[in-house]
Structure 1
Amino acid sequence: MRKFVFILFLLLFGFSLASSQVIINEICSSNAESLLDEDYEASDWIELYNSGYSPVRLKDWRIYDKNNFEKAWVLPDTTIGAKSYLILFASDKNRISSGNYLIEAGGQGAVEWAKDDYFHYEYLKVAGDFDISVKIPFFQSGFFFGLAGLMLRDSLTARSKYISMNSKIQRRGSYFCLFREEQGKAPNRSHAVKPIQFPNVFVRLKRENDTVLAYLLLKNSFDWLNFGKFHYDNKDSVYLGIAISGTENGKLSKGLFKDLVLNGDTISFAKLNSFNNTNQIFYKRFYKELHTNFSLSKEGETVFLWNNKAELVDSLSFPELKADISYGRYPNGENEFAYFYPSTPSFENANPCYAFAEEPEFSIEAGWHSQELSLTFLNSKLEEKIYYTLNSSEPNENSFLFEGNPIEIDKTTIVRAKTYAENSVPSQTVSKSYFIEENTHKLPVVSVIVDSIDLWDRDRGIMNEANVFKKMEVEADFEFYEKDKSYPNFSGKAGMKLHGFTSRAPKYPQKSLSIIAKSRYALSKFEYPFFKDNSYETYDKLLLRNAGGDWGKAFLRDGFACKLALQMNLGASNYRPAVVYINGEYYGLQNLRERIDDDHISIKYAVSKKNLNLIEDKAVLLCGSRDSYLELLDFIENNDMSNPNQFKQVEKLVDLKSLINYFVFRIWSGIPDWPERNQKYWSSTDFDGKWRWVAYDSDIALGNNFNYINYSLFVLKDSTKMFSKMMIKLLENEQFKHYMLNGFAGIFATKLHKSNTIPLLESIAEQIKDEIPSQQKRWEGSVLDWENEIHAIKEFLLQRNYSVLSNLLTHYKLKGIGKIVCKLSNIEGGDFKLHDFERKDFLGGMKYFQCIPVTLEAVPKQGYEFVSWGNPLLPDSSCLRIAFDSAEVVLNPIFKLKENPEERTIIFNEIMYKSSKDLKCDDWVELYNTAEETIDISNWIFKDDDDSHIFLIPEGTSVKPKEYLVLCENEESFSNSYPNVKNYIGSFSFGLGRPDIVRLFDASNNLIDSVAYSHLSPWDENADGTGFSLELDKFNSDNNNPANWYASHIYGGTPGELNSEQVSVQEFEASSGIHFSCYPNPLSDYSTI
């Protein structure tokens, strides 16, 4: 009996002991590069540790970041060995297997031709022709020259004849093909300078008779890129499979393979034979990486672990963590906790830290100084030591130690400092540029600071010619200086890498740079108004471009073109010329730009990345899905676009105005490598799901390399290109063709008219003119004949419109171009639009193509109504779609005062279009009901200046007499900022610009009120980014007159209540605005006069 009781005690106690011996040992909630998962992503991770001497089965255990067993993530049937670790990626991916096949091997690989071919090989024997491909989601090697890929061999003997198509590690950034033509000979080597972008690496070998073709497939592309063609004598059978090698004997290379396809059939990795010729133990298995259904908070939280009996086994609370710093137990399994830097996933927790050293505090700010400086550090903690460098290198404990004596600076110097303390995580390096010279730069200045090893080293340097085509990123500090250069207006840490492709070539010694915000460098976003005319101030990336194909020429073509594109409401990268210094040395004139990617689209258009689709060129996927776009192309190709009902389906999927504006702009700019290249387009269900186009990369446009003044409509004559094919089919629709022609006529007479383009060109040229001599001195040949280049662009601008319009007349066999003569006798009553352009925007006369229907829309002012067009041949309708046969039409629109003007009841009374950094309320507007009765505003529509930005006011919404209602961009942030305000609704999915127009329409789409405000004088500039709103002075004031608006006297404004200076009135009479909605509709009927 005692024996039975003892055994029972052991069983019960043993189970409890087994449960308690598995603990949460280490957590990294801000992983940057400490550990990459099989998707080549830096997911957060949790390390479990078995502190006991026996393995523990974890089937049905659970883990979660909340104390909720029912919702916790369930571990699969896996065992953690004694004194062993298990990594769980807290990635929110919720999976236990991806189907990836893991091979690990070491030794020196097939690259070393004078030695035996050290590699690990998984193969089949095949005969005859074949076509084999494989995906490589992940590859990691102990040395730069490790390889993973496909291999074809004559035999398994050393130095056999073979062909291999390989990927290198991502940092080396290229594909590598090897071909040994004869047994024992050195293999021929070929490099493909294409970016390695795990997990999207694909390689392929194809044999046809005695020829073997090697291919690679670029990320999200459709087309295999032929990399090499080799003569390979036909044999009855060969060895064919996947291979991995390192080039360092003492370290393992690790590769993951997926989707092995041979002759169209998927091959199971389990069917492959193994051959290993390395001096390391190798592993092969289907990889089971564990990913939880939750992620970790960088700010800190608690993680809970339960056994399969729902008993809480362990929990670990961790604080806010910086990038790649972990938090856990020290020593392993104990109840003392520490920080670990570097972190130690799957290894013993070592070198504990219990605090963070303070960053060095400089006594003098960076910038331009006219005299010598004596620099000190203001830190006072005796236990901390500050080490610094004066040569731009990263400081460490072997650098200069600051011992209290001032650092004398008598010439331009980069000072970098770092604080160390015992048992503490070292501080981040703080870097500052001190320019001891007179500031002569009128342009903004960007000072970049980076360790010279990361610039020029053979293996690490991004500017070393051996590495310029590789996808390598280094850490950098950058400072941004506006007009006053005595201090930086913005500074921070960032990632830096080379940007572009062609411009990396040796012919461009001045490289383009990409500055990237990442939390691992301290800043997840750049928050600063780098571009004053943008409505947003948040950026994930900034570019410092060398002007690409315009380097050595005008140095402004793309920036100038994008400024015009933005005026046309196209997506484009904003531009600002700037001067760049690298490590205190003048690097020259660069173009500060936005990077067009998913982050940019998400920020600019206030759409979530999870609902964003972004594509470039020939449907190469950048974000989201391309399925809907491919379905659109398929629909267009296989349906009759001249059928109005079929074309209506296209209207539901395409923003036709964006497409026409993009088409007109690209044709006008004359870019020779478009549309096959340099196009991006996007859609989002957060918007309306329609596809829109982005204009970018116009360096070789505007008459740069070719005489494109007279070469215009090539796109409409080449049906082999994806974009051209789509446009040719769409233009089978007569009404769409009319819309396109009117787009040319209207845009050429407004935004692309010489009266607008030439002054813009001259203003940009004037900005950079004084920097040209310094640029030429720094980079001989970069601006050889600058003034003549500017003159050449002017000639292009003078001739281009006439050339394109002539091409259109010839191509479509049109009668000619007519003009409208306007005699607006009572302009106080209203105005009108042609082609959806306001009359006042026409700079070169109001032009139209004869016999092509145009849209005329009368726009009466408040209190007026339209009477007639003052032309007996035209009907008295305020909105017409009509074709003019004559070369000239005279219009005299007539308006009259309404006999019984309606009372304007709901008005815009207050606008917060840009709060301060401290007031995180997001944008909002306040409505006021001036009437004596409650107004039901159900299904009314709020818009800004973009018709696609729509906020539908919910059913059942009303505003009581003399009361307010706030419409807010973000209900949560508004409520947090104004907890006492209850009369608000939201959230609208777009932000307000600076400047912008706010508009309110009733449920019948009648314009109720609108305000076109600005952040510049005569509008009150004190409401721009200060935290003070714009307030209307009186309810009965004209709220389109800037004199009637002022910046609130109360910080945060007065949402939902009386304005800070407003006088309440009982009687309010004003004329209502009536808006006749008549936008160009390519499907409407028309008449010819």
Structure 2
Amino acid sequence: MFYASIPDRPSTGDEAVWLPLVPMRRRLLSVAVFWMLVAMSPSSHGQNTLYLTEFMAANETSFKDPDGEFSDWIEIHNAGPSPVMLEGYSLTDDLADPGKWRFPATNIASRGYLIVFASGKDRRLPGQALHTNFKLDRDGEYLALLKPDGVSVLTEYRPTFPPQQPDVSFGLAVETEASKALVALETPARVLIPINDTVGSQWVQKDFDDSAWTPVTSTIKYDTGTTFDPVPGTDIQSLMLTKGSSAYLRISFEGGDLSAFNDLQLTLRYDDGIVAYFNGEEIGRRNAPALPAWNSVAPIARLNNAVALVPEFISLSTKLSTIQQGSNILAFHGLNKTKFDPDFLLSTELIASRRRVLADVTRFFSSPTPATANSPGSPDQAESPRFSIQSGVYTNQLRLSLSVTSANAVIRYTLDRKEPTLASPVYSQPIEITNSTLIRARSFDPGFLPSPVAAGTYVILTPDVLNFTSDLPIVLVDNFGARSVPEALQQAVIAIYEPVYGRSSIVSAPDILTRATLKDRGSSTAGQPKQNLAVETIEDETRARNIAPFGMPAESDWILYAPLEWDRALFRNPFIYQLSNEMGRYAVRTRLVEVFLNGSGPLGRDDYNGVYVWMEKLKQGPDRINVAALEPGDTKAPEVTGGYIFKIDRPDPADTGFSAGGQELKWVYPKEEEIKQPQRAPQSAYLTGYLNSFAAALPTQTFPSRSGNYAQFMDVDATIDFHILNLLSLNVDALVLSTFLYKDRNAP
């Protein structure tokens, strides 16, 4: 120990796949307009039945991998009549390395889909979720699926796929040649609101007698508000509200001759949870308990009713051959959060279709469909607006023009830091900028996706600050009129001026100009007039930006520490940090800076906030606390042995911490919200056990000896150095507060 200051089940390709989609936030990032077809189209070679049909390279909120993370993903589709063994096939993002990531022994069924997460985690265990050893570059790169010989390309996006947008997928167009609705929105059905376990689990079977159940349609609902009113279906408020949290729905349908079809898709809209069955077999679930019973409830409520109306899909293409000529049964266990929940929805459609993959036509998909047939999509996206003035710090007021090439496009913009929508103001004349401003704009063009959001940041200086210079670096922080910085994240712009020939000047070009998010930080210092700030530098709302100020290693997480009541000398902490680094013990790198913090109007002398310490934030990483990265699946030795970062301190908001070795501790890495995920339980148990063993070893008779029992749990020399530094500085918080500790892999 050192001191330092998805789907509910993975797909193997052999079964119908249920992917719990989180409804899209349609936020778009930069992408070129009108790519030449050869530059963005895939190529498929020979008589091919395997296609790389869809992928997402900017997954922010769409759906999680089994680790609970929003990893990018790649979809493989077998359009052929027979299953395919994928062992030895490969995925690559490097034209020079065709075998970069090879599949294990994994079958993909006829007409089936397989999802591979492009997470960089490199997991290849058959029957479990697959992860490549590379991540996708949202700015565009080569991507291909190859046969085991490493030469035969099945699908490739060459020379690169175009830049991608958050939560928008990209892939091959699919043409629907014919379709047949087996279950429509108002197909006759029957429902039971169970008040006991009389029907047991037999109600999902095809031959169950449901004649005594209430006749309804395939859409059942109620809403004490109005959101679900436009949805066609049967209102069951009198049957369900206050009487039960579960609804059993059975829909009988005739199969008929489906030999002309190659795709079967189940569409669902629900609130709050659901378990789906086909002819007695479970085919998917969402937000449901492990063993649903007659009185079960949904574990969590859905975000809102609008989210419930967003369709989700289950591909049942592998079940086409099992649909019987006569009667078939779809059964659903609908779940509400409680029996007093003011709304409920369960709506379903089952569509058989004949689809054809267009191997040389690509589309953007604002509604991604992982593990099921692609939606129609859009051929391109609208052109992002161009700004007549680049972002910067200015000494005069500005007149900004926005433009696009298309005569049909409409530009909409915001000045309140929000994302432009169809309800935002229409740009019609130049915008006068008199105060520090963040302008966000996008264009809307019929037939195209809305454009990526473009942004411009403009800091306006008043005349009284133009002659300000310093022998320290100058940092301007402007939050666009939002006044004081709250505990929640707030958007801002930061300009950093480093000294040239011994002086820094506010009217020179900044060395770094970046967007950022801020929040108030500190415990003992909370509420002091000179705010401490947590800073994350960002490219945009979805991406961090690494910067390297003052010669420090590039990173995105920083702190503006405001020494005041507890350090009137201003350099007590930086001095000790520097000593630690010179002793070879990592401590945060620092630089004294002069700060202007503007929360209203143009930035002037009145916004001077004094001398701060620009410093690194303690976090895991090669240039910070260099312990091994700990993935959710690292649950066995040696991986589970590290790395961990924890602290003796007051808890962060919403954190509770843990007890080990007779000490109350708080998680730093992994974060508490991450370590509490069920799959990480072995990690928490390991560290707790390790620290308990450490505490048990301390009182033994071998304690005075360096070779004693306790020494195996700690780096003795590092501990001695740590105590020397705390004694030298008379640190009143030593081993009481603000004490960070870590344990690396296979190390004390």
TM-score interval for Structure 1 and Structure 2 normalised by the shorter chain: 0.3 to 0.5
Larger radius of gyration: 1
Higher percent of residues as helix = 1
With normalisation by structure 2, the TM-score equals 0.48
Higher relative contact order (CA 8 A, sep 6+): 2
